[in-house]
Amino acid sequence: MDKNLKIFVAGHRGLVGSALVRNLESKGYKNIIKKTSSELDLTDTLKVFEFFETEKPDWVFLAAAKVGGIHANSTYPVDFMLTNLKIQNNVIEASHKFGVKKLMFLGSSCIYPKNAPQPMKEECLLTSELEPTNEPYALAKISGICLCDAYNRQYGTDFMAVMPCNLYGISDSYHNENGHVLPMFIRRFHEAKLEGKKEVTIWGSGTPRREFMISDDLADACVFLMETKTAKEVGKFVNVGTGVDLTIMELAQMVAKTVGWEGEIKLDPTKPDGTMKKMVDVTRLKNLGWEAKITLEEGLKIAYDDFLNNENTRLN
């Protein structure tokens, strides 16, 4: 690959964007454009068009988005729908208008129907109802996939889309409002250790099964696909996951071990469990030639080290 390609990583300070930058830099890419949201608000069409006209990037990774847990999604549904639609419409349209050679759109496995058969295959998109709490966010993401596909069909562009499972890792948010289970476990068990707590109670029965991937593995998959595949080969979009799941209780025990807290994990079965199993089918990704490399045990150590190094900022 030409390591001088001009690559715009939109959302480079986020969990996914920062992992993309690390991966690209480790592979020798030298010409990466990074803009914070205050330097370039991607919801502002004119500013986005001006930026693309001036910079003319060769590749774009679209990892800028308004992201949050169930609480934030339920409280601010307009923001989750409108901000994401604006960001992706602007960046995708500008990418076509100003000759971007390849674009990768980051979606999320929450786009799948609420009762999708497990593990969730790409083909089950739009086959039944979505989870009502994140419908506005999911519809925005589904629109992004469709828009990339529409540009490919109408204009012959090379815009691909990936749907990752739950992510964690360096530069994650540990704010209570994040609501993602893995970073919340890291924070709670770490605090339990500092406060000398003997027990921590987690929500639900502990039996639902979930899949977690470190953002560095996702970034590796994204860069692999951009370097070696076309949108035609990838299909409308491709799932990115580890192919391995575990129960919430098993996850809690692994996080507690990583953090070094030895108390008792209690369950509160009066609290909701959510879907009993949620994982993506990674057959298409494997057939394209990529598999996850970092185990959950290794990944948790990386994430916890980053949490410790950045404890104050990550909680804000």
Ligand X SMILES: NC(=O)c1ccc[n+]([C@@H]2O[C@H](COP(=O)([O-])OP(=O)(O)OC[C@H]3O[C@@H](n4cnc5c(N)ncnc54)[C@H](OP(=O)(O)O)[C@@H]3O)[C@@H](O)[C@H]2O)c1
DSSP label at residue 209? E
Taking CB atoms, the residue at the shortest distance from ligand X is 14
Q: 């409108």: which residue's tokens?
A: 82
Nearest distance from C-beta of residue 41 to ligand X, angstroms: 5
Residues facing 59 on adjacent strands: 7, 102
β-strand 59-62 against 6-10: which pairing, if any?
A: parallel
Nearer to ligand X, 13 or 101 (CB): 13
| CA dihedral of 311, 313, 314, 316, whole degrees rounded to 10 | 120
Nearest distance from C-beta of residue 264 to ligand X, angstroms: 28
Nearer to ligand X, 41 or 135 (CB): 41
Nearest distance from C-beta of residue 194 to ligand X, angstroms: 25
Nearer to ligand X, 192 or 210 (CB): 210
Nearer to ligand X, 59 or 261 (CB): 59
Query: What residues make contact with ligand X under the rule CB under 6 A?
Result: 11, 13-17, 36-37, 41-43, 63-67, 87, 106, 108, 164, 166-167, 180
**Does residue 290 contact residue 225 with C-beta atoms inside 8 Å?**
yes
- Residues with catalytic roles: 137
What contacts 24+ positions apart, CB below 8 Å, involve 184-190? Answer: 185/251, 185/252, 185/255, 185/256, 186/255, 186/258, 186/259, 186/300, 186/303, 186/304, 186/307, 187/307, 187/315, 189/252, 189/255, 189/256, 189/259, 189/261, 190/259, 190/261, 190/304, 190/307
Nearest distance from C-beta of residue 117 to ligand X, angstroms: 20
Alpha carbon 237 to chain centroid distance? 14
* 146 CB-side CA count, 13 A: 10
200 residue type, one letter: V
Which of 275, 267, 165 is CA-nearest to residue 221? Answer: 165
Rounded to whole angstroms, the Cα distance separating 89 from 87 reads 6
Nearer to ligand X, 202 or 219 (CB): 219
